[in-house]
Structure 1
Amino acid sequence: MASTLLKIAAVCLLVYCTSAADPIVTLSHGGQLRGVSTTFLDSKVDLFLGVRYAKPPVGKLRFQKTEEAEGWKGVQDAKAPGSICPQIDPAKNTFAGEEDCLFMDITVPGGVQPEAKKPVMVWIHGGGYSMGSGSAYLGVALATTGDIITVSINYRLGVLGFLAIEKGTGNYGLWDQRAALLWVKQNIAQFGGDPDLVTIFGESAGGGSVSAHTIGQHSDGLFKRAIAQSGTAYMMFGQSDNMRYKWEQSIRESTDCDAKLSTHECLGSKTAEEIVTQTKILNFLAPVADGDFFADEVVSKESYGVSDRFDLMLGVNGQEGGLFYSFETALVAQALNKSIFEHGVDMEVVRESLRIKCLTQITPFSPNLCVDWIISTYKIDETDDDRERAARLVTFLGEIFFNEGGVNQLQQHAAGETATYAYYFTEEFKPDPPNPLWSMPDWLKTSADHADEIPFMFGCTLIKKDMEKNDIWKKITEADEFIEQFMNGISEEMSSLSLSMMTMWTNFAKSGNPNVPVALPEGIPTWPEFTTESDNFLEINNNNIQVITTPNKERLLKLGSLRDARKLQRHADQRPASAETQENQNMQKDEL
C-alpha cells in the first residue's frame, strides 16, 4: 500500500500560472467559484481547485454520513488544492492532512463553456482506503486529449473513513464519494459538463470504490459508466462480525480508550492526528456490508447481480501481487530476520505471510487449512528454488486480491444488456533510477505491477514533454525526487501507448465503447466485449496489443470457492478429528 501512495505522490502534478481572465462559475445554490486559466501543450485549460463538496466531517459529523455543503453569497477562490484527508505519509512515516478535507479538483479543457455538455470523468484515488488524495491526480493530459472534463476527489480514509462498530455504520468514505457525485450531478453543467454522461473510474481502492457504487443502490442515477482498475468491492469484503469486533478491540487498545466510554465517545474526544498515528498499524479497514450503503447484509459475487444501469470496463495488471510482496511479505520476513529481495522466500516466510492473509483478509476460519490449500494449488512447496517460490507466491497474491473478484464482476455484469469490456495490462513501468521503496526486484518482475498503468492512462508522457519547455516543471522535479524518478521512468517510445490508452478510456466515457468515436491507431485490434459466451480481454502493452481470454480462468474459479467464507466455515465445522491435511484433502474434493 505504501507502494501505491508513493506512485500517487509522483503522478502528474500540475503547476499553473494565473491569468487576468480568471474563469468564474455560478453554482446551483447561487454562489460563485473563481478558478484559474492556464495552458497545457498550448491548449487552454480552466482549473477549479479545492472545491468544497460537503460539510467538514468534524465534531458531531465525525463517524457520520456526509452532509451537503452549505451555499454562500459572492465569489470564492478555487485556485489551490484543499487539504488531504488525515493519513500517514509512508515516505516520512509522519502524520499528514486535516479532517476538513472533502474537496475536489476540476479540469475543463478549452475553458468553461456552459452549453458544451462534455463527458465527465470522476477519479476516485487508491491507497488501500488509508492513504492518498485526489489532488495528486489532476487529469490535465487526459482531459485535453479526450476533450472531457475530469474531476478528482478526496474522501475520508482509515479509521475516520471506514470504522464499522455496529451494523449500519462505517463506509463513511463511500458516503463522501456519493456526496461528491451528487455535487457533480447538480453543478457540472455550469462548467460545461453533461450531468447525464458521468463516468466514475478509479484504481486499487479506487477501483474497489467504483465497484461498490455499482452495487450500492444509493448511487443510482449519479453515473452512467464505470471503470474499475485493479480493484473490486468483492476483494475487500472479508470482515465478519467477529473480525469487526477484533478491529474495534485493537483500536481501543491502540488509543487507550477508557473502559467506561463507548468507542465512538472515546475517539470523539481525540484529535485526528491522535487517532491516525495511534492506529497506523491497523490500516486494513475497508468497506463493509452494512445493510445501508449496500442493501445486502452479506456482499458476495452474487451481490453484483445483473445490471442494466451502467456500462462497465474492468481490468487488472499482469503481476498485481508485487504490491503485497514488496511491502507486506517484506515486513513478515523482516520480523523473522530474513530478507526476500535478493534470494526469494523460504517456506517459513511463505507460511507466516499466508497465515496472516488468511486470518485477516480471506477468512477468519481455519487459517491453517486456507494456507495448506493455497500452497497446494499454486505448487509453492514443489520447488526448492526460493526465487521460483516467490514468483508463485506473487501470482497467488495478485489473483486472490484483484483478478478473481474482477472476473466475478465481469461475469455477473455481462449477463445484462449494457456493455462490458475487460483489459489485461502487461507493460512494465520501471523507474529510472530504481526506487527500492516501491519496486520489485528485477529478477522477480516479469509483467506490470500494481498501479503500473497509471502513468500511461494519465498521460504522463505528455506532461514530461511539457516539462522540457517549461522551467517551472524542472523546479518541481528538483523539489520532489519521487516526481523526478516517476517521469524518468517514461520513455518517449511509450508515448504512443499512453495516447492509445487515453483514447480508449475517454472513448468509453463518451460512448460506452472504447473503440469509438475517436479511431484507435493503426495496428490496434478492435476491442471486443466481454460476454457470457466469449470472455474477451484486451491485453495492453507497448509491443503487442491483442485479444485474449480470461487469464488462468480455471484457477480463478477455484479461488472463488476459497473466498466463500461460509463454505470454509462449513468445512471447518465438519472437520474430522484427524490432521488438517485430511481436511485439506476433503476441501479439494469438493467443488473448488
Structure 2
Amino acid sequence: MAFTLQTITAVCLLVYCTSAADPIVTLSHGGQLRGVSTTFLDSKVDLFLGVRYAKPPVGKLRFKKTEEAEGWKGVEDAKAPGSICPQIDPTTYKFAGEEDCLFMDITVPGGVQPGAKKPVMVWIPGGGFVMGSGKPYIGAALATTGDVITVSINYRLGVLGFLAIEKGTGNYGLWDQRAALLWIKQNIAQFGGDPDLVTIFGESAGGSSVSAHTIGQHSGDLFKRAIVQSGSAYTLFDQSDNMRYKWEQSIRESTNCVVKLSTYECLDSKTAEEIVTQIRILNYIVPVADDDFFADDVVATESYELSKRFDLLTGFNGQEGCLLYLFEVGMMAHAQNKSILEDGVDMELLKAFLHTKCTAHITPLSPELCVHWVISTYKLDETDDDRERAIRLVSFLGEQIFDERGLEKLQQHSLGKTSTYAYYFTQKYTPDPPNPMGTPPDWLKSSADHGDELPFMFGGPLIRESVANNDIWKRLLEADELVQSSLSGLNEDGKPLSLTMMTMWTNFAKSGNPNQPVALPKGTPTWPEFTEDNNQFLELNSNDIQVITTPNKVRLDKLKVLQKARKVQKDADRRPQNAVKKDSDCKKTKDEL
C-alpha cells in the first residue's frame, strides 16, 4: 500500500512539476499551498495532495491527542501524496507507512473558486482500524459527477491509533479525524467549499468512525450530515469493553517489556515498525469508551440522541458476512486442515467456531446457550449440506455485526427532526482483475459482500476510463494493487447504477435528501425517508432499484437477545462474581437464550 520511491519519482516527473497554471490557495494562517491542475475525463480538477492537517504524532506526541499543525510563510507544494500511517500491507503482509502520516488529499472540481460554497464530502477510510488510508484519486469521479469538493484523510491505526490502557486514553485516531475536520472548517472556503455544508462519510471502520462522531462530544459543529456505510459506533464498544487489561498483557508479552517499565514506556523505546509487527496478533484494537471523546452516560445508555443533530443516510449490504467468513472461520478451518471455500462448514467446525465467537465477542456468561441459539435461529442444524450451512452462517455473521446495530441506529434516529434514509445494497460484484486478497466462491456469494458498494459509489467505471486515458490517474492507481482492483475493477455494465448512486450520495450532501436537487435517472423510484412506522429501505441493484421494508427484520429483531446478553455481560464484568451469580438479569437472559 505504500508508494515506492520509483513510483513517486515517476509520478513527480509526469505531473508534479511547477507551472504557471498550478492553483495556489492561501490558508487561514497566511501560508499558501500550491496544488496540481489536471483533468478527470473531460472535467477540470485541481488536486492538493499530501496536505498536512496536524503535527506529526511522533516523539512526545505518540499516544497523545492530535495537535494543530504549525503555520508557515510562503508557498508549500501539495503535489505528492503523503505517507500512509503504519500498518501491515494486506497484500504483502509486510510493514508499510510512517508515523508522520496525518495528511489529507483534496479534489476540487472545476478548479479552485474561493467563495463558491460547494458542498464538501470528507471520506474516512475503513480497514478495521488497522489498515487503510485516504487516497488522492478516490473522490475524483464523485467530485466531478456531483460538483462537490471531496477530501480523503489518513488517521492513526492499530496500537498507535487506539491503544487504551488507562481510563481517558486511546481514541487517538478519532482525535486525528476531528483535527482534520477542524482544519477543513478553517480552510475549505479558500478552495471554494462551504464550511457549513460538510458531510462525513465512511464504510466499515470508516462508517463506525462517522457514527462515533455523531455521538461524540467534540465534533458536532464541524459537519452537517453523515453517511454511515456498514458500521456502528456501539459495535466498537461491544468489542473493546473490558479489553484494556488483555491488551496490556498481550503487548508486554509480545514486546518482552521489562517489569519496571510501564507499557507506554516500553512502547516509547520501539520503532513504529517494531510496534506494528510485534503486536500484530492483537485483535479489535478499536475506539473505546473514555468519558472524553464519548461521554460515559451516552455509552452506558447506548443512546443515539446526539446523532439526531445530523441528517443521516445509512445502510448495509446483502452478504456482509462473507468477509468475516473468509477470515474468522477461515483461520479456524486452516488450523483443522479444512477447506471452507471448497467444502463449506461441517457441524464440528461450526460448533467450535461459534463457541469461540460467543465466548470472545458476545457473552462468556453462557456460550453454550449462545451457540444453541444461533444454530436454532439460523437453522444451521437443519441441513446436511455443508455449503448450505456455510451460507446460513454468513447470514448470521453479517447480521450480528453490521445489520442489527445499523437497524437500531435507524430506528432511534428516525424519531428526531433531521432526515433519515436507509439503503440495502444487493448487487453481486466480482472485481476484474480479481482482488489480490481473494474473493468468495460463486457457490457462497449470491449478493453484495462487505465493501462491494464502494466501486459503485466512487464511480469505478469512470475511474477505469480515466486510467486508460490519463497517466496521472494511472500512475497514482498503480501504486496500490488492492484499491486498483477494487475501484477500477468495475466494468461498463455497472456504470448506470454507479452514476445513480453518485447522484444520490452527492444530492444528500447538498440537501439532506438523496432525491434532489439533481434529478435521478428516469424510472428510479423516489427514495422514501425511513420512519419507525414504515421501515422502508431503498434496495440498490443493477437489475431493479426498489423500495422494500427492512430486510430480514424477523431475524434482526431476534438478534436483540444477543445484544441484551452482551449488555448483561458488560454489567456483570463490572461487579464481583458472587453478585453476578445472583443477578436476576443474568438468569432472565439465559432463559431467553
TM-score scaled by length of structure 2? 0.92
**Greater shift after overlay, 178-187 or 351-360?**
351-360
* CA 139–301 in structure 1, closer or farther in 2 if over 3 Å, else same: farther
Distance in 1, matches of 2:155 and 2:394, equals: 30
Note if 1:235 corresponds to 2:232: no
* Aligned counterpart, 2:380: 380
Letter matched to residue 17 of structure 1: V
* Aligned counterpart, 2:567: 566
SS at the partner of 1:90?
coil
Deviations along 1:347-388, whole A, 9 cap, x unmatched? 222223223322333334333332222222212122211001
Letter matched to residue 217 of structure 1: Q
Distance in 2, matches of 1:333 and 1:575, equals: 38
**Greater shift after overlay, 484-493 or 23-32?**
484-493
Distance in 2, matches of 1:239 and 1:307, equals: 21
**Greater shift after overlay, 345-354 or 247-256?**
345-354
5 Å-filtered alignment, 1:391-540, equals 391-435=391-435, 437-470=437-470, 482=482, 485-486=485-486, 489-540=489-540
SS at the partner of 1:46?
strand
1:588, CA displacement in angstroms? 6.9
1:474, CA displacement in angstroms? 6.0
* Aligned counterpart, 1:17: 15
**Greater shift after overlay, 221-230 or 461-470?**
461-470
SS at the partner of 2:211?
helix
Deviations along 1:25-70, whole A, 9 cap, x unmatched? 0110111111110011121100000000011111111111111111
Note if 1:302 corresponds to 2:309: no
Letter matched to residue 160 of structure 2: L
Distance in 2, matches of 1:184 and 1:327, equals: 36
* CA 288–473 in structure 1, closer or farther in 2 if over 3 Å, else same: closer
Distance in 2, matches of 1:394 and 1:312, equals: 27
Distance in 2, matches of 1:129 and 1:37, equals: 32
* Aligned counterpart, 2:5: none
* CA 350–105 in structure 1, closer or farther in 2 if over 3 Å, else same: same
Is 2:366–2:590's contact at 8 Å kept on the other side of the alignment?
A: no
Letter matched to residue 398 of structure 1: G
SS at the partner of 2:267?
helix
**Greater shift after overlay, 104-113 or 429-438?**
429-438
Letter matched to residue 220 of structure 1: G
SS at the partner of 2:135?
helix
Is 2:197–2:509's contact at 8 Å kept on the other side of the alignment?
A: yes
5 Å-filtered alignment, 1:129-208, equals 129-135=129-135, 138-208=138-208
Letter matched to residue 235 of structure 2: M
* Aligned counterpart, 1:360: 360
Aligned residues: 575
Distance in 2, matches of 1:161 and 1:544, equals: 41
Distance in 2, matches of 1:121 and 1:128, equals: 21
* Aligned counterpart, 2:107: 107
**Greater shift after overlay, 380-389 or 432-441?**
432-441
Letter matched to residue 213 of structure 2: H
- Structure 1 unaligned regions, length at least 5: 6-13, 578-582
**Greater shift after overlay, 546-555 or 195-204?**
546-555
Is 1:296–1:303's contact at 8 Å kept on the other side of the alignment?
A: no
* Aligned counterpart, 2:272: 272
Distance in 2, matches of 1:487 and 1:305, equals: 35
Deviations along 1:557-591, whole A, 9 cap, x unmatched? 222231232334789989999xxxxx99964753x
SS at the partner of 2:519?
coil
* CA 240–171 in structure 1, closer or farther in 2 if over 3 Å, else same: closer
TM-score scaled by length of structure 1? 0.92
* CA 77–365 in structure 1, closer or farther in 2 if over 3 Å, else same: farther
Distance in 1, matches of 2:185 and 2:86, equals: 27
Distance in 2, matches of 1:569 and 1:137, equals: 42
5 Å-filtered alignment, 1:209-358, equals 209-239=209-239, 242-296=242-296, 299=299, 302-305=302-305, 307-358=307-358
SS at the partner of 1:166?
coil
* Aligned counterpart, 2:543: 543
* Aligned counterpart, 1:57: 57
Percent identity over the alignment is 71
SS at the partner of 2:302?
helix
CA RMSD in angstroms comes to 2.6
Distance in 2, matches of 1:298 and 1:327, equals: 32
SS at the partner of 1:151?
strand
Letter matched to residue 125 of structure 1: P
